[in-house]
Chains A and B, each alone.
Chain A
Amino acid sequence: MRYVLRRLGFYLLAAWASLTMNFVIPRLAPGDPATAMFARFEGRISPEALVALKTAFGFTDAPWHVQYFTYLKHLLTGDFGLSYAYYPSPVTEVIGTGLLWTLGLAGCAVIISFAVGTMLGVLAAWNRGGWLDSALAPALAFLGAFPYFWLAMLALYLFGFGLGWFPLRHAYSHDVEPGATLTFIADVGRHAVLPAASIVVATLGGWMLSMRNTMVAVLGTDTLRLAHAKGLPPRQVMLRYAARNALLPNVTGFGMALGFVLSGSLLTEIVFSYPGTGYLLILAVRNQDYPLMQGLFLVITLAVLAANFAVDLLCLWLDPRTRAHA
């Protein structure tokens, strides 16, 4: 329990640090872009709304610490201001649906990729020097060197535009009514195949290589020698002894790579005009929609922190040693 609380404290601290960066960066930037941003709202919204927006961001004439607490207060009540690009929708509303799509797409892709990559890594290490190890691993490493979004472009070009197997853009067809119907779910699935597959292909090699390397290290330990000496069946030695012990450091690495992978999948969304947070991010950048951009930064960061906490809990469950100190 103490371990859990300590990790939780750490993530709260990290969340606070990103909130604060979000507050500080616009104020330190040269050329006062914040003022320029509000100037862009001028004429589009009423003066009262502009004042409210400035207050939400803490941009008042008050001293900075008062601004800071006003800003924190607004965030805590879920007030991220109004989006410029989607005026007059509040930022929270714009991000809300986007986040669901991103979590669905990136979440599935990352979990599939990690599971398959880890399994491949286990097999590559177990049959060291075999074809998995000497042919597939370098091939996947080469694929991993392409930017995710470029692989997405290629996949879209070949299987979308070229062969016409998959839809070209968006998360579902405009003529399908969203709802808990089989048609809708199948349609969403069909739209997700290409973006998810390009994320999986781009990341598979990384997971495979890291699992392979930790597993190679585990294979040299006395734990493995004892397992062989005991006359256990090879499959059991591979899975219950080698893979199980190699999984721990790999899951920790998974947590650390999560932010990086998410960044890549955000760019993938743009290629497919997938209505997730990545697509919103580029809209925000192109329209200089600072409220939306900052809201996205916060929400994505909080999501990654939450995922990291989940990974910590998973490690706790996997490792009796940490459990003992928890």
Chain B
Amino acid sequence: MRETLRRLLRQRKAAVGGTLLLGFLLVALVGPWFVMDPTELMGQPHQPPSSAHWFGTTGQGQDVLAQTVVGARETLAIGFAVGALVTLVGALVGITAGYLGRRVDDALTLTTNIFLVIPGLPLAIVLGAYLPSGPFRMVVVLTFAGWAWNARVFRAEALALRGRDFVAAAVVAGESHARIITRELLPNMASLVASSFIGNTLYAVGAQVGLEFLGLGDVGAVTWGTNLYWAGNDAALLTRSWWIFVPTGICIALVGFSLTLLSSAIDELTNPSLRAPPKAPKAAVMRAVATPAQEAAAPGALLSVRDLCIEYMTQAGPSRVVDQVSLDIAPGEVFGLAGESGSGKSTLGYALLRLLPSSAAITQGSIVFDGTDVTALSPEALRAFRWSRVSMVFQSAMSALNPVLTLGEQFHDTLAAHGGASRASSYARGRELLAMVGLKPELVNAWPHQLSGGMRQRVGIALALALEPRLVVMDEPTTALDVVVQKELLQRVLELKERLGFAVLFITHDLPLLLALSDRVGILQAGKLVEVDTAQRLRTDARHPYTRLLLSSFPHLGATDTQAPTPDVLEQAASALKPPLAALPGGRR
């Protein structure tokens, strides 16, 4: 909690917003003692700012400065009171609904949704018109008209927390509902409570000013809203007396802006992706180092990666995720890349297509694909290079497909981007590709959500083959699938590979699978390629201790175990492949 507060203060938005708001609170608290009586007629009406009246006088001759300063007090008091009350009511309704669930939830959610769609101002007016005037009326009316949004937010949060283990544990332990809500749920909603309170105060100030402007406040009181009400009534515009309404409006905006800044600071704290990303590390050194390394590219290799370094910019400075990796892939070869999560294997795969996030950059080394230096491609050349030469199957192809386009459209935009195919020819090719991966061609008109996970992954593969690339990067393409589907899919990939002759960079943490599937396997540990060898040799005599550790961590696959535990089909498929060009120079070690 203290750490959260400290981080909040370090943020510029929070600092500016907080200072502004504190300034206004101070003015509201002590300011009224230093100014004239805001209701007394102090001078001539409609007088512009002067030394006697710094902000001029109103249409009746009151001091505008005094009205602005004194108005802050009741406006902010009501604003914060309503803000707190709305948060309380919203939290109470929302948490009750989310926590108790079932019928209670249904009823409360329905009520909440109804209040959400009923416009607040007319509702507040009808209610306000029937209640006796005064600050109490304002608080009741604004709370009644504004609680629903909060209830909705708190319900969602309560629902999410209820599913978490620590709450489930408390339920099993037989703790009372009240205790679970106050001890388990509320402390975990601290930041939501804070940002809701700020958002509600913002709403309250705005709505209050609006209602008072309408004349629904206590027109005898001095608040910002009534100031504007009187400005309108006393013909401030007609007499060109801008000073009557401008100061109040700016005060309202500054309070509103400070609240917006604070709530946005809290949002960014809980959701860091909203902030501008840190700048990627500079790649200034790249060329100098890359040139000599390029000469070492193996003749006949389809892909030659040399001394590749990739760094991420983090809050703690640059962090090297891929460290001096060199590898070659021959045409038609299946190269397996293994490593645990965080070893940099996916980053390496993305780098081949220069698909790194903006916070990451290639700081050193070269990627040469079939004579093309990928790291040196211009944006337009890179666009043309992607997919037509190297394509990719994502682990999450099921979520990677665009949910709002039919499969046909997604085939079409891909084909059209690389040489202006007509829609009809794209759809025809789409059907052909779908059939190739074992799907019904009619699915070309389907939307992604109509397919199962395995089917979507097949679509991902079909899409990857659309332009007949020479290398397909497969990043954990089967991890999210069940074993049977996985087996069928990989078999299909190997068949297609045989037929079409593309090379595969297969990335996974599943070493036994890799050994069964690949011609050669590279082991990545903490960004370094520690061992590269043929699958056959790795299985029997891995040299690097890390490789041996990885191998032994799979129960059926000791370093001496020659029998791979993978499904028979795979075994057959793998052994059916001729080991091509296993003699290519491998990694550094």
Indicate the member of B126, B214, B350, B384 with the most A CB atoms within 10 Å: B126
In whole angstroms, how far apart are the Cα atoms of A217 and B391 in the complex?
A: 24
**Which of B127, B245, B252 contacts A25, CB < 8 Å?**
B127
Is the CB–CB distance between A13 and B123 below 8 Å? no
Chain B hits for A131, CB < 8 A: none
Q: B residues 434-467 with Cβ under 8 Å of A? A: 447, 449-450, 463
Given A213-B274, A225-B400, A270-B214, A293 and B129 touching (CB < 8 A)? yes
Contact segment of B181-189, B253-261, B486-494, B580-588: B253-261
- Digitize B226-258: 1 where CB-to-A-CB distance is under 8 Å, 0 elsewhere: 001001100011101010011011001111110
Do B117 and A11 touch across chains, with their CB atoms under 8 A apart?
A: yes
Q: Are A145 and B256 in contact (CB under 8 A)?
A: yes
Q: A296-B122, A320-B447 are in contact. Are A244 and B117 (CB under 8 A)?
A: no
Q: Once bound together, how far apart are the Cα atoms of A154 and B273, in whole Å? A: 37
Residues of A within 8 A of B114 (CB): 10, 13-14, 17
Within 8 A of A (CB), among B387-417: 387-388, 391-392, 394, 396-397, 399-405, 413-414, 417
Q: Does A192 contact B (CB under 8 A)?
A: no
Q: Find chain A residues with CB under 8 A from B255 CB.
A: 145
Interface membership of chain A positions 204-243, coded 1 if the CB is closer than 8 angstroms to chain B and 0 otherwise? 0000000001001100111101111111111010001100
Q: Is B167 an interface residue (CB 8 A)?
A: no
Q: Name the residue among B228, B260, B353 with the largest chain A CB count within 10 angstroms.
A: B260
Are B257 and A142 in contact (CB-based, < 8 A)?
yes
CB neighbours (8 Å) of B400 from chain A are: 221-223, 225-226
Cβ of B341 within 8 Å of any chain A Cβ, yes or no, is no
- Does A217 contact B119, Cβ atoms closer than 8 Å? no
B113, CB-defined interface residue at 8 Å? yes
Cross-chain contact B113 with A10 (CB below 8 angstroms): yes
Residues of B within 8 A of A285 (CB): 125, 129, 214-216
Chain B residue, CB-CB nearest to A308 = B117
* Chain A, range 139-186, C-beta contacts under 8 Å to B: 141-142, 144-147, 149-150, 153-154, 156-157, 160-162
Given that A33-B130, A286-B215, A297-B126 are known contacts, is A256 also in contact with B237, CB under 8 Å in the complex?
no
A110 within 8 A of B: no
Q: Once the chains bind, are A147 and B249 in contact (CB under 8 Å)?
A: yes
Residue B116 CB within 8 A of the other chain: yes
The answer to whether B260 and A230 have CB atoms under 8 Å apart is: no
Q: Report Cα–Cα, A260/B121, bound state, in Å.
A: 8
Asked if A301 is an interface residue, CB under 8 A from chain B, the answer is yes
User: What's the least CB distance linking B391 to chain A, in Å?
Assistant: 7
Identify the closest chain B residue to A13 (Cβ): B114
Closest to B383 in A: A231
Q: Flag if B387 contacts A222 (CB, 8 Å).
A: no
Asked if residues A31 and B132 are in contact (CB atoms below 8 Å), the reply is: yes
Contact A301 B113 (CB under 8 A): no
Query: Cβ of B423 < 8 Å from any Cβ of A?
Result: no
- Would you call B386 an interface residue if the criterion is a C-beta within 8 Å of the partner chain's C-beta atoms? yes
Interface hit among A57-65, A73-81, A86-94, A261-269 = A261-269
Knowing A232-B414, A320-B447 are in contact, say whether A271-B232 is a contact too (CB < 8 A).
yes
Give A296's nearest chain B residue, CB to CB. Answer: B122
Name A134's closest neighbour in chain B (CB-CB). Answer: B276
Asked whether A118 is an interface residue with its Cβ less than 8 Å from the other chain, the reply is no
B402: chain A residues at CB < 8 Å are 223, 226-227, 240-241, 244-245
Among B110, B214, B254, B463, the one with the most A-chain Cβ atoms within 10 Å of its Cβ is B214
Residue on A with the closest CB to B276? A129
Please indicate the chain A residues that have their CB under 8 angstroms from the CB of B242 in the complex. Answer: 157
Interface of A is mostly: helix
B403 touches A320 (CB 8 A): yes
Q: Which residues of A contact B240 (CB under 8 A)?
A: 157, 161-162
Selecting from B92-100, B169-177, B205-213, B542-550, the interface stretch reads B205-213
Cross-chain contact B110 with A231 (CB below 8 angstroms)? no
* A44: Cβ under 8 A from any B Cβ: no
Q: Are B404 and A150 in contact (CB under 8 A)?
A: no
Residues of A within 8 A of B127 (CB): 25
**Within 8 Å of chain A (Cβ to Cβ): is B24?**
no
A residues in contact with B116, CB < 8 Å: 256
Q: Which of A9-50 contact B (CB under 8 A)?
A: 10-11, 13-14, 17-18, 21-22, 25-26, 29-31, 33
| A123 CB–B CB distance under 8 Å | no
Residue in B closest to A209 when the chains form the complex, CB atoms: B264
Asked whether B110 lies within 8 Å of A13 as measured between CB atoms, the reply is yes
How many angstroms between the C-alpha atoms of A300 and B386 in the bound complex? 54
Contact of A146 among B131, B253, B355 (CB under 8 A): B253
B210 lies within 8 A of A149 (CB):
yes
In this assembly, does A70 line the interface, its C-beta being within 8 Å of a C-beta of chain B?
Answer: no
Q: A25-B127, A301-B118 are in contact. Are A232 and B274 (CB under 8 A)?
A: no
Smallest CB separation, A75 vs chain B (Å): 15
What are 29 A-B contacts defined by CB distance under 8 Å? A17-B114, A25-B126, A29-B131, A30-B131, A128-B276, A141-B257, A145-B255, A147-B252, A222-B400, A229-B391, A230-B387, A230-B413, A230-B417, A233-B417, A245-B402, A245-B404, A259-B118, A259-B119, A267-B210, A293-B129, A301-B119, A301-B123, A305-B117, A319-B404, A320-B404, A321-B447, A321-B449, A324-B449, A324-B450
Chain A residues in the interface with B (C-beta under 8 A): 10-11, 13-14, 17-18, 21-22, 25-26, 29-31, 33, 128-129, 133-134, 141-142, 144-147, 149-150, 153-154, 156-157, 160-162, 213, 216-217, 220-223, 225-234, 236, 240-241, 244-245, 248, 256, 258-260, 262-264, 266-267, 270-271, 281-282, 285-286, 288, 290, 293-294, 296-297, 300-301, 304-305, 308, 318-321, 324
B residues whose Cβ falls under 8 Å from a Cβ of A: 110, 113-114, 116-123, 125-127, 129-132, 206-207, 209-210, 213-216, 228, 231-232, 236-238, 240, 242, 245-246, 248-249, 252-257, 260, 273-274, 276-277, 350, 353, 355, 382-388, 391-392, 394, 396-397, 399-405, 413-414, 417-418, 447, 449-450, 463
The 5 closest A-B pairs by CB, nearest first: A263-B121, A145-B256, A259-B119, A29-B130, A231-B386
